[in-house]
Structure 1
Amino acid sequence: MTMDISNLIIENLANPHELERMYRKEPEAFKKSISYAWGKNPDSQVLAVWYERLHFKETANTEKTSLFQKDFLSMGILAMLAGISTRGILHFIEQQAIAPINLVFGILPFIAAYFVYNNTPQRNVLYTLAALFLISGVYLNILPPEHKDSIILAYLHLPIFLWVLLGLAFTGNEYGIGSKRLAYLKFNGEFCILYASMAISGMMLTALTMHLFRFVGMDISEFYFENVVLFGAAALAIVATYLVSRNLKLAKNIAPYIAKIFSPLVLATLLAYLITVIWVGKNPFLDRNFLIFFNGILLSVLAVTIFSITESGTDEKKNISDYINFALIILALIIDSVALSAMVFRLSSFGITPNRLAVLGVNILIWANLIWIMLSYMRFLQNKTGPSTIQDAVTKYLPVYGFWAAFVTFTFPLIF
């Protein structure tokens, strides 16, 4: 039959309509016959085109499948290593040999390794990543195991520094390009959505498992949480990284809608809260705990604003979300200005401490960033620039947060 179709193909080389009809009628037989027909007529351009058309898809699909399997295998290995490492670190934490903050080294280096494996950077970037992760880990564990303010500040700022370092692994050789930094911020939003979704499923499985074993009179909660839940939580971070990197539609489709829904809710809630604070007379200048909470609100608003900006896309047209984002920025700027004034007041009144200096520094950084974003948004709303200038105000400032986090982490324990 193959020979018969091959002969028909050769007879109809000048009749493209008939060739197309034959292919649609019996695609598999036609595909097998093309090779034979082309062998008989190696100079035929028509047969050469048909051969490439029919076999190119096969090659592309093979390469795509091979790449998928390679990525899946690397993800599986790194997920297992992350889970094992995290469980091992927990053992030393329980022995009080190391600080709990070391748990970040059970996850972040393996996410960085996944990025590097799938987008190998130049040697200088690779060596920088490896050196900084290693130095961070060694430095963290030579700090004295004391609960001094400077040590606690180092513990709090280290994850921020490592997060920026993870951004270097994500962007690779293109670390200076704004679009790649923006892609990293989008990755974070989609990662959080996907991880939370899978974590909820894991919680349901955990609850079901606990109840099943209780029915037979066994309490496995301690063993299960230490060996299964912790392992799964660490491994799940690598799985979520893999799924987001593979352009999973769930997170990418839902993230912009969450940003559009969440931003106005946050704006309305914070406006109501600030009005209430003024009404009851809460004073961040004198109330230390309220000032700490006030700064927490500021960081939350900044995170929501940046999330909304990164998910707004590159559409030149303005919409209601842009005005809501601008209002959030103004609100965050007001909150930061109050917090900044309160910190200056407390420093001048009560003296310098590591906590006050660290909070003052981060407030100054955020204030400058918010001013830049606000001015960029004003120009966009006045039709003077496109949305890329707003995104630049976010992405170009990321290393500044990383440098400040590194400064607090590595110098405050030495200075104080």
Structure 2
Amino acid sequence: MGNNNLIIENMADPQALERLYRKEPEIFKKAFSYAWEHNPDSQVLAAWHERLYFKETEHTEKTSLPLKNFLFMGILAILAGISSRIIFHYVEQEAIAPINLIFGVLPFIAAYFVYNSKPRKNVIYTIALLFLVSGFYLNILPLELKDSTILAYLHLPVFLWVLLGLAFTGNEHGIGQTRLAYLKFNGEFCILYASMAISGMLLTALTMQLFSFVGMDISQFYFKNVVLFGAAALAIVAAYLVSGNLKLSKNIAPYIAKIFSPLVLVTLIVYLITVIWVGKNPFLDRNFLLSFNGILLSVLAVTIFSITESGKDEKKNISDFINFALIVLALIIDSVAFSAIVFRLSSYGITPNRLAVLGVNILIWANLIWIMITYMHFLKNKTGPLAIQNAVTKYLPVYGLWAAFVTFAFPLIFK
């Protein structure tokens, strides 16, 4: 009690309090609780309270928050695995379309993003409503594989991917840097998920071999109940690790972008020269036109990945010139594909497939023009890398709107 009285008696004398603390820190700390309890309005004791307990509070918060995130991630991963297994059962029965399997994963990743970003209620309600509407609409479509239905199946994941971006960005969905962070997340997520999936495949091969030694074929059971569950749960785990600033994927992604971009550029140049040499014609060959558009999408994805991993460095390097060459090459491919689809529309009439491909080509062409112009300004020192990144991020909702239009409107228009 003597120490308690000394602390209370010297509340107006900071030097005396400091002397008492340095003389016997542990006793002072124990005695302080009595003084603080009886003088909660004292500004001096409030400052001492922060000094004595701030580190402990900070440490507690730092340890409890990751634990909560980990537990929440674990629950979502289990739910994703169970949901995917249930959905697969109905897919096997041919009661629903296989595309429904995305609802065993994406809503749970969205839930984790919402948990992290803490968006406003109207944003949460919008995300939840659009997921519900998408799932309901998808399952009232006829299971017959008509062109319009297949297009809806192909475009729905794109729409849900943009919706996932809304969950990731939360209240900052209009900010370019937050959208850029979402694009970076996708690149790092793919790298990490692929790495873990390879490990999973090795484990699967080992398990199959071990059970084959005792004369048991567990392949079907293992795929339905372990591989499917694990693939869905692994997506949630990968999202958690990347969101938690896992250094492995963040350190690898820029190097992959720098190595992969020039390889893609050289491969495509050789491929286009070969195409011209052998006389392939996308105007007359439908399958070749589809592959041409597939190449276009691949080049666009590689270019965007490379741009998002380039950072904010104002200095130009060889990667920037490679990116610009990829953009120009993609623009050439898109122009050829656009001309070919217009030719086929005018020659053979309107079909859902042709109209969908035309729309995609127009959107990509406009986006590539925007990116190319900003890149030219950057290479001429008229602007910084932020303008290039804005040309990428600000266009994302456009792709989402087109995907939504094809998904929800085409089955109604082309019955």
Provide the TM-score with structure 2 as the length reference: 0.91
1:65 to partner: Cα distance:
1.0
Aligned match for 1:394, one of 392, 395, 404:
392
Q: Which residue identity does 2:401 align to in structure 1?
A: F
SS of corresponding position for 2:139 = helix
Q: 1:137 to 1:31 in 2, by over 3 A?
A: farther
Partner of 2:245: 247
Q: Which residue identity does 1:113 align to in structure 2?
A: A
Contact 1:38–1:48 (Cα < 8 Å) also in 2: no
1:54 to partner: Cα distance:
5.2
Partner of 1:209: 207
**In structure 1, distance between residues paired with 2:391 and 2:20:** 57
Contact 1:31–1:54 (Cα < 8 Å) also in 2: no
Question: C-alpha root-mean-square deviation of aligned residues, in Å?
Answer: 2.5
1:46 to partner: Cα distance:
10
Q: 1:39 to 1:167 in 2, by over 3 A?
A: closer
**In structure 1, distance between residues paired with 2:270 and 2:20:** 71
Partner of 2:322: 324
1:57 to partner: Cα distance:
1.9
Tell me the alpha carbon deviations over residues 181-227 of structure 1, each in whole angstroms, 9 at most, x when there is no partner: 11110110111011111111111111111111011111100000011
**In structure 2, distance between residues paired with 1:58 and 1:192:** 38
For structure 2, which runs of at least 5 residues remain unmatched after alignment? Answer: none
Instruction: Map 1:11-30 to 2 at 5 A.
Output: none
1:320 to partner: Cα distance:
0.9
Partner of 1:102: 100
Q: Which residue identity does 1:197 align to in structure 2?
A: S
Tell me the alpha carbon deviations over residues 32-65 of structure 1, each in whole angstroms, 9 at most, x when there is no partner: 3451575799899999877644532221110111
Q: Does 1:160 align with 2:158?
A: yes
For structure 1, which runs of at least 5 residues remain unmatched after alignment? Answer: 24-29
Partner of 2:148: 150
Partner of 1:177: 175
Q: Which residue identity does 1:261 align to in structure 2?
A: I
1:14 to partner: Cα distance:
6.7
Partner of 1:373: 371
Contact 2:29–2:52 (Cα < 8 Å) also in 1: no
1:330 to partner: Cα distance:
0.3
Partner of 1:409: 407
Partner of 2:75: 77
Aligned match for 2:346, one of 333, 345, 348:
348
Q: Which residue identity does 1:158 align to in structure 2?
A: L
Tell me the alpha carbon deviations over residues 50-107 of structure 1, each in whole angstroms, 9 at most, x when there is no partner: 7644532221110111111110111011000000000000000000000000000000
**In structure 1, distance between residues paired with 2:356 and 2:394:** 22
**In structure 2, distance between residues paired with 1:330 and 1:50:** 64
**In structure 2, distance between residues paired with 1:406 and 1:107:** 19
SS of corresponding position for 2:282 = coil
Aligned match for 2:29, one of 27, 35, 43:
35
**In structure 2, distance between residues paired with 1:179 and 1:59:** 32
Q: 1:229 to 1:31 in 2, by over 3 A?
A: farther
Provide the TM-score with structure 1 as the length reference: 0.91
Q: Does 1:66 align with 2:64?
A: yes
Instruction: Map 1:48-59 to 2 at 5 A.
Output: 52-53=50-51, 55-59=53-57
**In structure 2, distance between residues paired with 1:75 and 1:31:** 41
Contact 1:37–1:47 (Cα < 8 Å) also in 2: no
**In structure 1, distance between residues paired with 2:286 and 2:109:** 37
**In structure 2, distance between residues paired with 1:228 and 1:286:** 46
Contact 1:78–1:110 (Cα < 8 Å) also in 2: yes
Q: Does 1:136 align with 2:130?
A: no
Instruction: Map 1:259-338 to 2 at 5 A.
Output: 259-338=257-336
Tell me the alpha carbon deviations over residues 367-390 of structure 1, each in whole angstroms, 9 at most, x when there is no partner: 000000000100111111110000
How many residue pairs match? The answer is 401
Contact 2:20–2:28 (Cα < 8 Å) also in 1: no
Give 4+ residue runs of structure 1 displaced > 6 Å after superposition. 39-51
**In structure 2, distance between residues paired with 1:148 and 1:380:** 46
Q: Which residue identity does 2:187 align to in structure 1?
A: G
